[in-house]
Structure 1
Amino acid sequence: MALIESWMPPTRENYDFILKLWTFYPIFASLQWVVSWYGMGKTSVNSRFNVPGRIAWMTMECPGFLTLMYIMSTLTKQQGITDLSWQNKVLAGLFVIHYSYRAVMYPLMAPSMSPIHLFVWGAGLTFQLFNATCIASWLAAYGPTTAAEWNAQLSPWYTLQFVVGIAVFYLGLAANYYHDDELREIRRREEQRRARKALEDGTPLEKVDKHYQIPEAGLFKYMLYPHYFVEWVEWTGFYMAAGWSCHPARMFVVNEVFAMFPRAVKGKQWYVERFGADQVGRRYAVIPGVV
């Protein structure tokens, strides 16, 4: 906990400073447009600086929700807040629910994961620490913390906006689960095919390390990265529930788009190069009707 404690902003001034730094993240993320290298997933490369996929993913993603939980449990006491409003707890819970899946269940359920370069791992870890610190600090002390403050935050339709925001969040979360599982199913089907072939031929079972094909289920019919798109929907719902003036939630959505959009566009190019334009068809990269 020493690392988290040293990172956690004990004062409003530190929180404001970290949030300002976080506002400049799109500049860093935009470098992906001019750099072809990205050492993760389909484009992972052999390197002495690679970290095994599952280990890299979990150690990169877990610090996010752990940081949020720690700040939520300590910063309120430091600021003399004895009882947070239930809205703060619900929003913090949604963050933990998402990352309990994304950081822990997702890598454990994956049939295989490509290695992740140490540089990409560091960038992902930095994203998690900045994002969780800003979100948690706002929820723990520096945003609305009482019922009256929440009514003002979400005025004039505070109940409706919060409920609709939560519903949008869960819609995006469920769609995220679904499309992630479709990607896993591709490798599961390949594992089953190879197992049947090995049994028929009497040969050793060949392990499925990397196997790619164009998914067909759900929104994959219309775009190649629907799991990115629905995650944006998910956190837009979170932003709506937190209130349109919530700067950390707004920057979370903006920074996710800037981080993932270039990867989706370049990912479509990868699909076209590997499978051909005819196989990709009229699928968009990540935003139906746009790109």
Structure 2
Amino acid sequence: MNVLSFILSNELEMLSWEGLTILMMWGSSLSVLFLQVFTPMNAPYGRFNNFVSSWGPQMSFRWGWILQEAPAFVLSSFFFLTGDKTKGFLPFVLGLSSKPDFDYPNVIAILMFMTHYFHRAFIYPLRLPDPKPCPVLIVLMAFVFCTVNGSLQGHMVCNRLDHPLTGSPSSLPPLLLLRLSAGMFYFLLGMWINIEADHQMISLKKAHMDKLKDVDRKTLTVKQRYLIPKGSWFDRLSISCPNYFGECVEWTGFWLFTGSPSALAFAFFSFAFIGTRALQTHRWYHSTFGKSYPQKRTAFWPFLPPLFSSV
């Protein structure tokens, strides 16, 4: 094979695409951290959306959220059904094939990813009580990210990752089994924290809105429109954003389970992006509620001393 044909081969093209995408994700993470440190700016949605015209037209938050998150689920599902290491799972489960022609860890990993994004794309936004609109530009940016990330994680898990498996989980080497078990534990723990914290916040918002249903919201101050979240993981972990913390724990577990460089890049991106969002929210709570807000809470990382209350 000459050099030109080797460079143009599909194998190297895919490898280059994967590598460039992973590098872009690391670069994006560092950019988010840099911008937060040197030019702190609140994300223009949710409580931070003041409908500034520079962000362009607005759209329904629910439909925007579904649109931006759905590609990750759809594309990972596509790779699950067509990937070399996972496509034999459904035929085997449905009795259409007697041979388990798939790798158990790969199937479990992609189902973990799909489960998260099915919930985030199709369940979470429909439960939100009267969310504010969000900029179309933000939705498009998130759509691009979820499209790229869903393709990257789906392809890596369903086509690339190799595990020394000969047909059943019992054939896994002990150290690999330990890593997979730890990854699954942290993924499920993070998902539990994320979903329960979201549920608690949604329940509190609904109860608060019921109290204000006969009040003209235009006459309310910001402090009256919002409330201090309490109960559940907010108090158990003493942090302002347990939902964000839980999601980062999820993706850390996903990385441990897969051992994939793309999963590591995604986990780091989650800490960078969601972590800065948590800091913004934490500062907003303090500026809005002042001394009424629990002073021992940290923004994102639990069990830190008060000295680190901004973390």
**Higher radius of gyration, 1 or 2:** 2
- Deviation digits for residues 26-78 of structure 1 (CA, Å, limit 9, x no counterpart): 1332224414242111101224511211011110111111111223334539x
Deviates most, 34-43 or 60-69 = 34-43
Query: What amino acid is the match of 1:44?
Result: N
Deviation (angstroms), 1:126: 2.5
- State the alpha-carbon separation in 2 of the partners of residues 262 and 118 from structure 1: 21
The structure-2 alpha-carbon separation of the partners of 1:205 and 1:61, relative to structure 1 and needing over 3 Å to count, comes to: same
Q: Does the CA contact (< 8 Å) of 1:111 and 1:187 recur in 2?
A: yes
Does structure 1 residue 55 correspond to structure 2 residue 42?
A: no
What is the aligned partner in structure 2 of residue 166 from structure 1?
184
Does structure 1 residue 265 correspond to structure 2 residue 279?
A: yes
* TM-score between the two structures when normalised by the length of structure 2: 0.77
The structure-2 alpha-carbon separation of the partners of 1:272 and 1:205, relative to structure 1 and needing over 3 Å to count, comes to: closer
- Deviation digits for residues 98-150 of structure 1 (CA, Å, limit 9, x no counterpart): 11111110000111222111232222223212221221111121221661699
Secondary structure of the corresponding residue to residue 147 of structure 1: coil
- State the alpha-carbon separation in 2 of the partners of residues 205 and 121 from structure 1: 26
- State the alpha-carbon separation in 1 of the partners of residues 183 and 83 from structure 2: 26
Count of matched residue positions in the alignment of Structure 1 and Structure 2: 268
What is the aligned partner in structure 2 of residue 281 from structure 1?
295
Aligned with 2:257 (options 194, 216, 241): 241
Secondary structure of the corresponding residue to residue 45 of structure 1: coil
Q: Does the CA contact (< 8 Å) of 1:169 and 1:237 recur in 2?
A: yes
Deviation (angstroms), 1:187: 1.7
- Deviating beyond 4 angstroms after TM superposition, the runs of 4 or more aligned structure 1 residues are 148-151, 203-206
Aligned with 2:147 (options 108, 114, 129): 129
The structure-2 alpha-carbon separation of the partners of 1:145 and 1:124, relative to structure 1 and needing over 3 Å to count, comes to: same
What is the aligned partner in structure 2 of residue 4 from structure 1?
none
- Give the superposed CA RMSD: 3.0
Aligned with 1:42 (options 41, 47, 52): 47
Unmatched tracts of structure 2, length 5 or more: 1-11, 86-99
Q: Does the CA contact (< 8 Å) of 1:232 and 1:256 recur in 2?
A: yes
What is the aligned partner in structure 2 of residue 66 from structure 1?
74
Unmatched tracts of structure 1, length 5 or more: 1-8
Does structure 1 residue 256 correspond to structure 2 residue 270?
A: yes
Give aligned-pair identity as a percent.
23
The structure-2 alpha-carbon separation of the partners of 1:205 and 1:28, relative to structure 1 and needing over 3 Å to count, comes to: closer
Query: What amino acid is the match of 1:173?
Result: M
